[in-house]
Amino acid sequence: MHPLSIELFHPEHPGRVVSCSVVLCGSICRVQFNGLEPREIGRGRRGDIGEFSREARKRLLTFIARIDWRFFIRGWFCTLTYPDDVADVSSDQLNQDKYLFHRWVEKENGNHVPGIWRLEYQTRKTGRYVGKRVPHFHLLLCNANYIPFSAVRAQWKKTIRTSVDPQVNVRRMRNAKMAGLYVSKYCGKASDSPFLDNAAYLNRPRRNYGYFRKHGIPMHDTLECIIHDSVMMTLIEEMGAVELPWVNPGELRSFDLFGTRASQVIQAIVDFGLDNNSNRDYKW
């Protein structure tokens, strides 16, 4: 991976060469300023997983932004829930249920099926666990033939060992745009509570998202360009400050831009080169 490298003398540090690395991959633009004094960041043991934290959500959205949806074909989405009689489920059982269901999908298709899964908790409004937060899964499966709702529900019912028909939602993925919207809505949405204090199975650490056959998920290539201009770095700092208004531009160390914001950074770099009739190579 060769990032876009902008080298210059920082006005606050005369004589010191400072670089700004910009990497574009899919719909994410990652910017990092190098050469400034590093911030003091406490390092310690990571705590137990509570629920879908802001950091975890950012990691998932960063991965999603790099997916090349043009090749995410023949897929479908599903939501898998737990009825009251099996809702008090442990972390190990959640992992086993997800694994067994995915293996069944691969058996039905006769090939490996990559995808993304998200574990979400929702407060029950009726039943035995009213007021408690109970888990359910969102799955996005790629390169998988569509399996009818009745077969999916029957298999999930068998997998979680319940006598009640579980609530299941199955939708065919018709195009890349639909896949992206589904992932943004379900897999990447923020949790409505950062804690599991009122979960049916109290405070058991567990992952809240992950991947099936991660190596099989099609990803965008990383694009790169090399330029050398102090004005360009200032422009990028200002664009970052718009997205992070609580941080002074001169204090930015790194930031990520998604979607149209990422495209705007790249377009600004190209336009800057054209407007100045520069002989620098701005081709990606």
Q: What is the pLDDT of residues 192-225, one digit of tens each?
A: 543 333 444 433 446 788 999 999 988 888 876 6
Query: For residues 201 and 131, what is the distance between their CA atoms, to the nearest angstrom?
Result: 13
Q: How far is CA 104 from CA 7, 49, 100, 178, in A?
A: 53, 28, 6, 24
Domain with CATH 3.30.70.1910 in the chain: 67-216
pLDDT at position 233 is 72
pLDDT at position 35 is 64
Residue 100 CA to chain centroid, in angstroms? Answer: 24
Q: Classify domain 67-216 at the CATH class level.
A: alpha beta
The alpha carbons of the chain give a radius of gyration, in whole angstroms, of 23
pLDDT at position 202 is 38
Which parts of the chain have pLDDT scores under 50? 1-11, 14-17, 38-49, 193-205, 277-284
Is the separation of the CB atoms in 146 and 174 below 8 Å? Answer: no
Q: What are the b/e assignments for 139-166, b being 16+ CB within 10 Å?
A: bbbbbbeebeeeebbebbbebbebeeeb
Query: For residues 205 and 182, what is the distance between their CA atoms, to the nearest angstrom?
Result: 26
Query: For residues 117 and 211, what is the distance between their CA atoms, to the nearest angstrom?
Result: 6
pTM value? 0.71
pLDDT at position 97 is 97
